[in-house]
Amino acid sequence: MSVTLPPEKAKAHWSRTKNLMFLTLAIWAFFGFVIHFFVGALNSIVILGFPLGFYMAAQGSLIVFVVLIFWFASSQNSIDEEFGVAED
Amino acid sequence: MAFSMKGDFTDNLGRIYGVYVGGFAAFVVLMAVFEMVGIPDKFILWCYIGATIGIYAFIGIMSRTAQVSEYYVAGRSVPAIYNGMATGADWMSGASFVGMAGTLFVLGYDGLSFVLGWTGGYVLVAVLLAPYLRKFGAYTVPDFLGTRYGGNAARLVGIIVLFACSFTYITAQVYASGIIASQFLGIAFEWAVFAGLAGILVCSMLGGMKAVTWTQVAQYIVLIVAYLLPAIWMSTLLTGVPLPQLTYGQALSQVAEYEQILGVAKAHVAPFTTYSPKDYFFLIFCLMVGTASLPHILMRFFTTPTVREARKSVAWSLFFIFLLYFTAPAYAAFSKLNLMSLFANAEGLKLAFDQVPAWMLSWGSIEGHQLVTICGQKAASLDAIREACVAVAQKAFVDGGGAADAFDAATVTGFSYADLRLNNDMIVLSTPSIAGMPIWVVGLVGAGGFAAALSTADGLLLAIANALSHDIYYKMIDPKADSKRRLMVAKVLLVVVALAAAFLARTKPADILSMVAWAFSIAAAGLFAPLVLGVWWKRTTSAGAILGMIAGFCVTMYYLIGNVYGFDFVKGTGDEIKWFGVAAISSGIFGVPVAFIVTFIVSLVTPAPSQEMQEFVDKLRLPRGGQLIRQSS
């Protein structure tokens, strides 16, 4: 039924998982908040009619979030497979 | 018939929804043909609402179930991509569909805080919560709290928070569906609410989560088509390219030019013209954390077959939500461009009274709502507009030192862009008629808004009714109840909650509707800390979690009520509180940290959780091995 890993292996799995969590949340915080602190400066760059600061909040950050979750899901899955704790 | 192959229904999903999309496209074409052969508009609008409720009812009845696990978690058999669509519909409420573009239209850049806040939260769901909650195997969010924090106290506090954030929310959804139904069916609001109620119950009553899942997928398809089509239409018309999300840069530049011509002070793309930077970022934070705490969203990820699929399905959910949210700013820009060009091209930059477009009057004259405001008054008729604008001009003339009798009303022949105010909620619904699109598009947009309101209402209804039936009735009152009795109780409670929401919505409770925005802060403050720490910090104790939830919830509620009403519960009497200038909608900014801090401190001073519970959390972190708690059926 439920798997039990040897403690040091379980610890290694969880520390890899935690690192991935911190990395993902750092990217999330950057595109969710930090980049928008600079909206004023970014707005002076205009591409195809879009001021860049406006574009990042309206579209850029959203695209990053979508790609980020797909990437996170596959990274976490490869960690699980490496430690043999992925589902069959 | 695909639906009769019960056992392998999920194997045939692609085919079934393929047929559905084809059928829906054929239906829309049929409506366009109806219009061309001169069938009355009203009939076409009735067809849209009637046909969509009909198909939802069909799916709902086909998915009826007598199994507890199908009723609560759709038998845990929903593939990631379909769960993503269902979550999209579950998430995007009537307000998102109807109000989002309007908010962006009015607020410009500052409105993007909603776009960011309502998408970024899914990163938190994917990383911190969804896979672990799926592994756990609960039926409801309070079920997780009750098991992890050993007992009914945590369960009960969870239910109270759930009820506080979900019930006002569902009332608003029933209200929105009533508004749309009354608008499009041409019947009184008091009766249209029950059309909405019927639409909600047919999806959920017989089949619980299973039926709601498959109708939400169908509703997602309707709502996304209805949202994208008018935006693509406007983009093609104005720029020749059918990709509004790429071409609205041009519209933004054009809007900026018109803003110069018309002397509009708040530029559309300029940041922080309405909100301060602090308001803006606090709001994003509260909406993101709230997203990751709303029970009706979290419970969608209980329905996937595996932990791996749960993670993937969060990604698909955000992708499907993204399709609407990255179109909304384009929608707003094109609508604004359309409207501004009316004024920028008019003589003297004033729209003459005899040039007022018909939509302004037809939306302005709707009784009981002030959707179009011209010269400070409701635009109920051409005479009302003229009278209001003359009065404003006369006052300005007298204030400027002119004699009252020297004023000539005949000199007032029109009004300027600055004199016009549109209600946020009418932008999306009225854009097809403003842009001169045919009635079959207008009806489609109505059907989309209706689908958005119904699907969210269904998700909320299940979240509330399931917490009452599973957590209160089964876990706390009668743990020996057999599955037949449990299902009966669940269905009765579902109808009771739906009726309560409908009767409340029928009274048009303005205060309750404005409370919807609070749901995110309430959920964030009450639920985020115990859920996240329950998985990520083994040392979290029951006492810590319970007190943390209570503290976060109470601080947020205290601030909300204190900020909006003051403690005499009457608005505007001067006893309202304001801490650091934080707006009511962002009150979670106090509750979330308080919940974490209290949980942390109390956990450290109480004895560590039992060895058994710590091992349980260890297992929770490993996907392999099946779900942890066995639900008796």
Q: How confident is the model at residue B1 (pLDDT cuts 50, 70, 90)?
A: very low
* Helices vs. strands in chain B: H and E counts, helices first: 27, 5
pLDDT reported for residue A24: 97
In one-letter notation, the amino acid at residue B487 is L
State the DSSP H helix or E strand holding residue B167, giving kind and residue range, or none if neither. helix B152-185
Confirm if B416 and B343 have CB atoms less than 8 A apart: yes
> What is the average pLDDT across A18-26?
97
Return the number of other C-beta atoms located less than 10 Å from residue B355's C-beta: 12
> Which regions of B314-445 does DSSP assign to beta strands (E)?
350-352, 372-374, 377-378, 414-416, 420-422
Q: Which neighbouring-strand residues pair with B350? A: B416
To the nearest whole Å, the CA of B457 is away from the closest chain A CA by 25
Retrieve residue B88's tokens: 């999209």
Q: Which helix (H) or strand (E) holds B176?
A: helix B152-185
| pLDDT per residue as tens digits for the range B362-401 | 888 877 778 889 998 888 888 899 999 999 888 888 888 8
Residue A42 lies inside a defined structural domain of this protein: yes
Instruction: Please state, in angstroms and rounded to a whole number, the distance separating the CA atoms of residues B528 and B522.
Output: 10
Q: Which of residues 7-36 of A touch B (CB under 8 A)?
A: 10, 13-14, 17, 21, 24-25, 28, 31-33, 36
* B241-277 confidence digits (pLDDT tens): 999 999 899 999 999 999 999 988 888 999 998 889 9
Q: Is A87 contained in some domain? A: no
Contact in structure between B315 and A76 (CB atoms under 8 Å): no
**Whole-number average pLDDT of chain B:** 90
Q: Is the pLDDT of residue B301 over 90?
A: yes
Helix axes A7-32, B112-124, angle to 10 degrees: 170
Contact state of B246 with A48 under an 8 Å Cβ cutoff = yes
**Interfacial B residues in 479-538 facing A (CB < 8 Å):** none
Q: Give the C-alpha separation, B506 to A47, whole Å.
A: 48
pLDDT of residue B517: 79
CB B60 within 8 A of CB B200: no
> Where in the sequence is the domain holding A13, given as residue range(s)?
7-82
Are A77 and B619 within 8 A, CB to CB? Answer: no
Given pLDDT bands bounded at 50, 70 and 90, which one contains residue B8? low
pLDDT in tens, B200-229: 998 888 899 999 999 999 999 999 999 999
pLDDT digits (tens, 9 = 90+) for B540-559: 999 999 999 999 999 999 99
Find all residues with CB under 8 Å of B375, minimum gap 6, and list them: B385, B388, B389, B391, B392, B415, B419
Of B108, B382, B128, the closest CA to residue B256 belongs to B108
Residue with tokens 């769901």: B125
Alpha-carbon span B81 to B312, nearest angstrom = 8
Residue B290's nearest CA partner among B129, B455, B140, B159 is B129
Is the pLDDT at B190 greater than 80? The verdict is: yes
Cβ-Cβ contacts under 8 Å, A76 against chain B: 131, 311
Contact B237, B435 (CB under 8 A): yes
Indicate the burial class of B466 (C-beta count within 10 angstroms; 0-12, 13-18, 19 or more). Answer: buried
Chain B positions in Cβ-Cβ contact with residue A53 (cut-off 8 Å) = 109, 269, 271
Work out the average pLDDT over A59-83: 96
**Strand pairing class (B420-422; B372-374):** antiparallel
This complex has an ipTM of 0.96
Which residues are bridge partners to B372 per DSSP?
B422
> Which residues numbered 225-254 in B keep a CB inside 8 Å of some CB on A?
245-246, 248-253
Nearest CA to B184 among B560, B383, B444? B444
Position B2 confidence tier, pLDDT thresholds 50, 70, 90: very low
The Cα B609–Cα A3 span in angstroms is 21
- For domain B2-335+437-620, the question of CATH label 1.20.1730.10 is answered with yes
Task: Return the HEC string of B27-49.
Answer: HHHHHHHHHHCCCCHHHHHHHHH
3-state SS, residue A64? helix
Q: How confident is the model at residue B286 (pLDDT cuts 50, 70, 90)?
A: very high
Domain tally for chain A?
Answer: 1
Neighbouring residues of B64: CB distance < 8 A, sequence distance ≥ 6: B206, B207, B211
β-strand partners of B377:
B374
- The whole-angstrom separation of Cα B375 and Cα B388 is 6
Give a yes or no: residue A50 inside a domain: yes
CB-CB under 8 Å, A66 with B319:
yes
pLDDT for the residue numbered B430: 80
pLDDT digits (tens, 9 = 90+) for B606-615: 999 999 999 9
Residue-wise pLDDT for B427-479, tens only, equals 887 888 778 888 899 899 989 999 999 999 999 999 999 999 999 999 999 89
Cβ contact B606:B544 at 8 Å: yes
- Count Cβ atoms below 10 Å from residue B483 Cβ, excluding itself: 15
Provide the number of CB pairs (under 8 Å) joining chain A to chain B.
147
Residue predicted with more confidence, A29 or B351: A29
- How far is B213 from B82, CA to CA, in rounded Å? 8
Q: Determine the residue among B127, B308, B617 to mutate to test chain A binding: the one whose Cβ has the most chain A Cβ atoms within 10 Å.
A: B127
B341-346: average pLDDT:
88
Q: How far apart are CA B626 and CA A87, in angstroms?
A: 8
Q: Which of B270, B252, B267 is nearest to A40 (CA)?
A: B270
| Contact across the interface for A57 and B308, Cβ inside 8 Å | no
Q: Which of A50, A68, A84 sits opposite B123 (nearest CB)?
A: A68
- The residue whose two tokens read 């406007």 is B234
Weakest-pLDDT range from B39-53, B80-94, B569-583:
B569-583
CB B441 within 8 A of CB B233: yes
Q: Mark which residues 295-334 of B lie under 8 Å from A by CB.
A: 306-308, 311-312, 314-315, 318-319, 322, 325-326, 329
**What's the distance, Cα to Cα, between the start and end of chain B in Å?**
30
- The span from the CA of B595 to the CA of B610, in Å, is 23
Asked if residue A1 belongs to a domain, the reply is no
Check: CB of residue B155 under 8 Å from CB of residue B476.
Answer: yes
